[in-house]
Structure 1
Amino acid sequence: MTAALHIRQLNKHFANGRHALRDINLSVQRGEMVALIGASGSGKSTLLRHVAGLVAADGGSESLIEIDGHCVQQGGRIHRDIRKVRAQVGFVFQQFNLVDRLPVLVNVLVGLLHRIPCWRSWLRLFSQQERSQAIEALARVGIADCHAQRASTLSGGQQQRAAIARTLVQGARVVLADEPIASLDPESSRKVMEILARINREDRCTVIVSLHQVDMARKYCPRVVALHQGQVVFDGPSSALTPALLRDLYGVQADEILTGTPPTQDAAPAAPAMPWVPPLAQAA
């Protein structure tokens, strides 16, 4: 069976010389829910952005990333058909990536942009069926009553649920969630993780979520991949992640992962920002 995600010999150096990803070899099967854990600067966000085709690996390398058997990038070159592959990949960002001044419903309908003509997206002309689909997605994440509000009026937890609803409307078969609960309170974090787990269970989509909190990884994700200084140092059942093992893997950084509290200063430069801006945002 074709894996939902296949990564081979992935390496990434940034312009400052930092080796951000080192010989990553990883396969995720369809329908799995996998947590990426690691201290700040370990490479979690960088890895997810490579998987989504937002960042290219080292040029001239032997790297390969495939989603459902379709090439995302190879040898440091993004595949020419990347738009078709991205249509099946939903990306949930830590900072939600919603357009504040647009209604929640329109933000969710952005998930349809790969299936409708450009002129309809510019004019925000959506059919009643498409709007009903978006309302249904918002209902699944528990905020259908907020559909007419501006995104800026929602709480952080509600905005993140709207971002997940966008992936539902998109029909994504693979959901990449980059620190989706890092800026949320405990109750909102629990709700977001439960929604991701329910989508994985009910829709059988593959979910890969990067987390700072190992307790959340153990509770919601059967499998954990741990990164340290850009390398995979553990890949196995979350039940095996004991505090003793984490201290063996991370040393003094284990406390950051166990408590879910990042250091006051970033351990590494931030990954490049997402270059794509939805046409709806430009037209608003």
Structure 2
Amino acid sequence: MGTAIQIRNLSKTFPSCKALQDVSLDIDSGEMVALIGASGSGKSTLLRHIAGFIAADAGKIVVLEQLIQQDGKVAPRIRSLRANIGFVFQQFNLVGRLPVITNVLTGLLYRTSLWRSLLMRFSLNERQQALEALVAVGIEQSAWQRAATLSGGQQQRAALARCMVQRAKVILADEPIASLDPESSRNVMELLASMNRKRGCTVVVSLHQVEFALKYCPRTVALHRGCVVYDGPSAALTPQLLGELYGADAKELFGKMLDSPAMKQPEPGLSLAMAAAR
């Protein structure tokens, strides 16, 4: 299967806090992994480092066997390397005044020449690919609307269609359902799971909602104050374990989820030692 993402001893300090502290992870090709934790736990910072948007203070990241950054320096070829890394932002990152289909076509910019990128010149075949992606996410009827006229759920679907056109092999989704209603949240998570299953994409999605991690992601990585405190099967994330990992913060962070029927009890014989962070 191979390793899609390799992170070694990654650390990042901002003036106000230590955002990441000696984080090491391996994520295999084709995995769908949830990142959970409170705001400020380091989820978004970790995803942005994987994409090479920001440089760490120390550590190393390799994606699809290509060096993204090491020892505080982002790879010089980062633009071309990002061609295989799709990024889904919490606030969609669409250009509101442009048609939806044009926003989707921007997924091709990493693979086109500079002059075509600047002039937004796309071939008939490329436009057809964008329409097919919009069909796949169920908003083809909105192709020529301005992106700003879409609902939040529709805009997030457009962002996923952009990843499809990009043909991204790794998708990093930063709180993609944080601002969506429950139905739209389910739709977006279903689309991410479908891309993982049908296209073989490696998906890493940051979530506040533990029940979505349980339902859609076989593996969960939990962050707390910049440290990995759990890395293991999502099915083992019981209220008891969350309480052990987060202490007094657990009820505040996951209170609604801790009472959810989706929060399973531990399987017979499953010890906390098996579920502890690697």
What TM-score, normalized by structure 2, do the two folds share? 0.90
- 95-104 or 83-92, which deviates more: 83-92
Cα displacement (A) at 1:204: 0.4
Aligned to 1:172: 168
Given residue 78 of structure 1, which amino acid in structure 2 is its aligned partner? V
Asked whether the 8 Å contact 2:196–2:203 carries over to 1, the reply is: yes
Q: Which 4+ runs in 1 deviate beyond 4 A?
A: none
Given residue 6 of structure 1, which amino acid in structure 2 is its aligned partner? Q
Is the aligned partner of 1:257 residue 2:254?
yes
Aligned to 2:66: 70
Is the aligned partner of 1:88 residue 2:84?
yes
For 1:67 and 1:143, locate their aligned partners in 2 and report how far apart those are by CA, in whole Å.
Answer: 31
For 2:133 and 2:67, locate their aligned partners in 1 and report how far apart those are by CA, in whole Å.
Answer: 29
For 1:30 and 1:210, locate their aligned partners in 2 and report how far apart those are by CA, in whole Å.
Answer: 18
Cα displacement (A) at 1:259: 2.6
Asked whether the 8 Å contact 2:37–2:223 carries over to 1, the reply is: yes
For 1:53 and 1:122, locate their aligned partners in 2 and report how far apart those are by CA, in whole Å.
Answer: 22
Asked whether the 8 Å contact 1:226–1:234 carries over to 2, the reply is: yes
For 2:230 and 2:69, locate their aligned partners in 1 and report how far apart those are by CA, in whole Å.
Answer: 25
For 2:110 and 2:255, locate their aligned partners in 1 and report how far apart those are by CA, in whole Å.
Answer: 40
Asked whether the 8 Å contact 2:82–2:110 carries over to 1, the reply is: no
Cα displacement (A) at 1:116: 1.7
Residues 140-155 of structure 1: pairs in structure 2 closer than 5 A: 140-155=136-151
Given residue 93 of structure 1, which amino acid in structure 2 is its aligned partner? F
Asked whether the 8 Å contact 1:214–1:258 carries over to 2, the reply is: no
Cα displacement (A) at 1:82: 1.2
Aligned to 1:52: 51
Could you list the runs of 5+ residues in structure 1 that have no partner in the other structure? 261-284
For 1:67 and 1:257, locate their aligned partners in 2 and report how far apart those are by CA, in whole Å.
Answer: 31
For 1:13 and 1:35, locate their aligned partners in 2 and report how far apart those are by CA, in whole Å.
Answer: 23
Question: SS state of the match for residue 168, structure 2?
Answer: coil
For 1:154 and 1:258, locate their aligned partners in 2 and report how far apart those are by CA, in whole Å.
Answer: 32
Aligned to 2:218: 222
What TM-score, normalized by structure 1, do the two folds share? 0.88
Given residue 108 of structure 2, which amino acid in structure 1 is its aligned partner? L
**Higher normalized contact order (CA 8 Å, seq sep 6+, divided by chain length):** 1
Aligned to 2:263: none
Aligned to 1:270: none
Cα displacement (A) at 1:40: 1.4
Alignment counterpart, residue 181 of structure 2, candidates 185, 198, 212: 185
- 171-180 or 124-133, which deviates more: 124-133
For 1:198 and 1:57, locate their aligned partners in 2 and report how far apart those are by CA, in whole Å.
Answer: 32
Question: SS state of the match for residue 34, structure 1?
Answer: strand
For 2:219 and 2:169, locate their aligned partners in 1 and report how far apart those are by CA, in whole Å.
Answer: 18
